[in-house]
Structure 1
Amino acid sequence: MNQIPPEQPPAQSWPVSSMLERDLVLTDADFARIRELIYQRAGIVLAEHKREMVYSRLAKRLRHHGLTRFSDYLARLEKQPTAREWESFTNALTTNLTAFFREAHHFPLLADHVAKCRGPVRVWSAAASTGEEPYSIAMTLIETLGNRAKDAEVVGTDIDTEALERARAGIYPMEQVRKLEESRVKRFFLKGSGERLGLARVRPEVSEMVEFGTLNLLAPEWSVKGPFDAIFCRNTMIYFDKKTQARILERFAPLLKPDGLLFAGHSENFSYISERFRLRGQTVYVLSPR
């Protein structure tokens, strides 16, 4: 059994306590400013009811700096527009809910599509999180393309740098991997043993297909280059307002091949946001004829 490093312990979030027990001061003005800053930096729209989440997730950053007031933390951030702490601020407020082959109906559709593609296949996972989605895409390409998969490429990007570190490591709890078919577990994962019991690592033939990189969908320039046979941007647009969604969709369009597919999340509907895409069905979009 190949040796794999131990899994990093998950970051512990500070428990949300009552207002009387809180040792950190989060005012209405602080919360409003946090909402404004994360919207400016990442396009994320935080609803009013997310206040408890914001307190819980950012409390760790305040304690790290020995601060007791959110206003002091925000003032420090705004005085240093290029500081690394902005990365931690954004990471803390980014949601990374994902799983292998999540929204499973998309992967047979991807398989059918790439089976007809000529030349090297390229797929972009625009919200790669901790890697489960791009690795699921790579596994689908291997299953579908056979020897042609060696020329395929999966690009996985995300704004959350900590999530991307886990994605690059490709190591997951075995209880998460066991949810897959046994044939896929045997084919695509290495199981740990001894002190690494309970962990699994994505096999090199899968991980080598995926290139990870940091990308903010709101950035004026994107590092990714098309064209792609498919773009996955699932369960991410729900955190943006319609204006931001429309702008991102406009930028996706020239990166897709003329017959390419755009995969959206089950609760996302782009039909009334951009004229560049039309719904094909099952939350899959294609370019509209021009």
Structure 2
Amino acid sequence: MTSPVPKGQPSPLIQMAQRLTLSDAHFRRICQLIYQRAGIVLAEHKRDMVYNRLVRRLRDLGLDDFGRYLGMLEADPNTSEWQAFINSLTTNLTAFFREGHHFPILADHARKRTGEYRIWCAAASTGEEPYSIAITLADVLGQTPGRWKVFASDIDTEVLQKARKGIYRLDELKTLSPQQLQRYFMRGTGPHQGLVRVRQELANYIEFNVVNLLDKQYQVPGPFDAIFCRNVMIYFDKNTQQDILHRFVPLLKPQGLLFAGHSENFSNISREFWLRGQTVYGLSKDKI
């Protein structure tokens, strides 16, 4: 039986957090390691975020020093803790039908293509984006088996786990029409009141897998009619962005589309793509 914490004294976890310090040297090592593993560039102003996220890992592991934690990572390149490290430092900001101007473009593109329409969502996060893509394709192409498929990936295993479950708060679906809500989601009842789950009929069209965009070769079922890689490149430096875009080229079918985030400009970093619309790109070789 554990002894109660004396009145007025912080809990052991709070005490641990209070005596932990993140030195300049340790912060630099963290920045180097996450860059090497995931290509993510961390600026100095991210220091508090790094501390708050990683201190939870140290608590879980019973460690009281960032140096010991980093030493543990560096001692074993295959330890499962690397994935927890990456998960902790990955930012996942997403929403249903975020940057909504892309979806009518996607619908129009899919409507004009023949054969199975295949699309890769390269930063699936917790699933809102790939499900928005799936809803768009189901609306325009129907749900005939073999007509379309979404491949969704992320480097973060925790967010992919949530994406596979497809459970969301009802208030997160405000951008959907009542018809879409009814057609593609089931409402929770009783203790699940206020929650919705993606209907299996829609989920069957999506395949979720872990993909690190730093990999020299992607284990993805391309080529694709379209690739969504939105609000990801902002975390990479220019050389990494160029490498990733170069690897996208053979994965896009002729006249395929690449969708970028609102603050991303691929025209400045790659001659292999040209701007076709608002943050929508095509292959330069298709333009000739």
Name the TM-score, length of structure 1 as normaliser.
0.91
**Matches of 1:259 and 1:179 in 2, distance apart?**
29
Give secondary structure in 2 for the equivalent of 1:213: strand
Give secondary structure in 1 for the equivalent of 2:19: coil
Deviations 1:231-264 (A, max 9, x none): 0000000000000000000000110011000000
Name the TM-score, length of structure 2 as normaliser.
0.91
- Residue 188 of structure 1 aligns to which amino acid in structure 2? Y
Unmatched 5+ residue regions in structure 2?
A: 1-13
Give secondary structure in 2 for the equivalent of 1:22: helix
Deviates more, 1:93-102 or 1:216-225: 216-225
CA contact (8 A) 1:123 1:231 kept: yes
User: Greater Rg, structure 1 or structure 2?
Assistant: 2
The 5 Å alignment of 1:253-272 reads: 253-272=249-268
Residue 52 (1) aligns with residue 48 (2):
yes
* Among candidates 161, 165, 190, match of residue 165 of structure 1: 161
Partner of 2:123: 127
Partner of 2:235: 239
* Among candidates 99, 106, 121, match of residue 103 of structure 1: 99
Q: Percent identity?
A: 60
**Matches of 1:261 and 1:222 in 2, distance apart?**
18
The 5 Å alignment of 1:1-290 reads: 22-148=18-144, 150-289=146-285
CA contact (8 A) 2:217 2:247 kept: no
CA contact (8 A) 2:152 2:209 kept: yes
CA contact (8 A) 2:121 2:153 kept: yes
CA contact (8 A) 2:141 2:147 kept: no
Q: Which has the higher contact order (CA 8 A, sep 6+)?
A: 1
Instruction: Tell me the matched-pair count.
Output: 271
Give secondary structure in 2 for the equivalent of 1:258: strand
- Residue 256 of structure 2 aligns to which amino acid in structure 1? G
Give secondary structure in 2 for the equivalent of 1:180: coil
Unmatched 5+ residue regions in structure 1?
A: 1-16
Deviations 1:180-228 (A, max 9, x none): 2222111111000001111100111211000000000001221103110
Q: CA deviation at 1:147?
A: 4.7
**Matches of 2:147 and 2:191 in 1, distance apart?**
36
- Residue 104 of structure 2 aligns to which amino acid in structure 1? P
